[in-house]
Amino acid sequence: MTARGFDLWGVPYDGAANLGWPGCRDAPARVRQAPGWMAMRVQEGQVYSSDTQSLHAYPEDALRERGDVEVVAHDLMATLEACAAAVAGSVREDRLPLVIGGDDSLLYGCLKGFHDAHEGSIAILHFDAHLDLLDESRSQGRYSQSSGMRRALELERVSARNSIQVGVRNFNFPSSRRFIDEIGLAQLPASQFTRLGVEAEVKLIRARLAGADHVFWAFDIDVVDPAFAPGAGAHEPGGLTSRDVLDCVRLLAPLCEGFNIVEVNPLMDHHDMTSILAANLAFHMVVFGQQPAHPP
Ligand SMILES: [Mn+2]
């Protein structure tokens, strides 16, 4: 079976980060510097995983560097379109898009491209402290970092009933709760995650995603507790640990055909610890995502 290959895209854009701290435009450059630590362990097309205690293939084209998409600093819609075009381009070349944002408005841009380039139904695996289900507001408009999931769920073949939001916590809008009930979206709150543990959570997530033809994993770094990922756009205490999310990527990567990591904010970071975590998540996705869960 041919291994799946990933395309790394950067989207250095934080024009829609009007809540929380801007600065995630610097993430693609910073996150790209970090994987050297992992990539130097590749020998003769293999890397050793200390977690699984086994060798894993890492062929030369496992991760193709595609550079940054053409963001337009003053134009959110043009930036979302550029992001969508990059993602769609990779899918059409039979590559898996791996997008480093950028703020979380890119959730919609990524899903738009993924949706347009795939046939069949699409599930969103959404790791985030927040719901991102705001319809629109005067201060944020319709396509902000708070509305990405809402807009993505409006795409024709995105299936709310196969999608799930993981690690959500603390407080959000009553109108978002009503919308969740209306469309039948599911959540695994961070509080439950800690209680159930990774293995049980992954089982629930798999069951939810099972009915969809394709899965896109949208990952806001703020799903991780600020203690482990201080370089984020906003801090929501009580989140997942870095161990939790690394295990999730290792176990769920084979199910996913697209991945983004958004809201990594080098300006708020300490000693690059959040950029290094993001690079590790991306590297885990490439190593453990090479063989699909359901071969065609
Ligand atoms: Mn968030």
pLDDT tens for each residue of 43-101: 999 999 999 999 999 999 999 999 999 999 999 999 999 999 999 999 999 999 999 99
Mean pLDDT of 175-187: 97
Alpha carbons 215 and 114: distance in angstroms, whole number = 9
Neighbours of ion ligand 1 (CB under 5 A): 128-130, 220, 222
Alpha carbons 280 and 275: distance in angstroms, whole number = 9
Query: Is residue 296's pLDDT more than 60?
Result: no
Query: Tens of pLDDT along 233-286?
Result: 999 999 999 999 999 999 999 999 999 999 999 999 999 999 999 999 999 999
**Ligand 1 centroid distance, CA of 217 (Å):** 14
**Ligand 1 centroid distance, CA of 3 (Å):** 32
**Ligand 1 centroid distance, CA of 223 (Å):** 7
174 band by pLDDT with thresholds 50, 70 and 90? very high
**Ligand 1 centroid distance, CA of 144 (Å):** 12
pLDDT at residue number 184: 97
Q: What are the φ and ψ backbone dihedral angles of 13, each rounded to 5 degrees?
A: -140, 125
Mean pLDDT of 93-115: 98
**Ligand 1 centroid distance, CA of 130 (Å):** 4
Alpha carbons 62 and 2: distance in angstroms, whole number = 11
Please name each of the domains of the chain with its CATH number. 6-288 (3.40.800.10)
Query: Is residue 2's pLDDT more than 80?
Result: no
H or E, element range at 192: helix 190-196
Query: Tens of pLDDT along 14-42?
Result: 999 888 899 999 999 999 998 777 888 99
**Ligand 1 centroid distance, CA of 238 (Å):** 13
User: pTM, whole model, 2 decimals?
Assistant: 0.97
Q: Is 65 exposed, middle or buried (0-12, 13-18, 19+ CB in 10 A)?
A: exposed
Q: Is 89 exposed, middle or buried (0-12, 13-18, 19+ CB in 10 A)?
A: middle
Query: 108, 116 in Cβ contact below 8 A?
Result: no
Pick the more confident residue, 17 or 224: 224
Alpha carbons 27 and 265: distance in angstroms, whole number = 6
Query: Is residue 115's pLDDT more than 80?
Result: yes
Alpha carbons 100 and 106: distance in angstroms, whole number = 10
Largest CA distance in the chain: 55
Query: Is residue 295's pLDDT more than 70?
Result: no
Query: Tens of pLDDT along 120-163?
Result: 999 999 999 999 999 998 989 899 999 999 999 999 999 999 99
Alpha carbons 41 and 161: distance in angstroms, whole number = 40
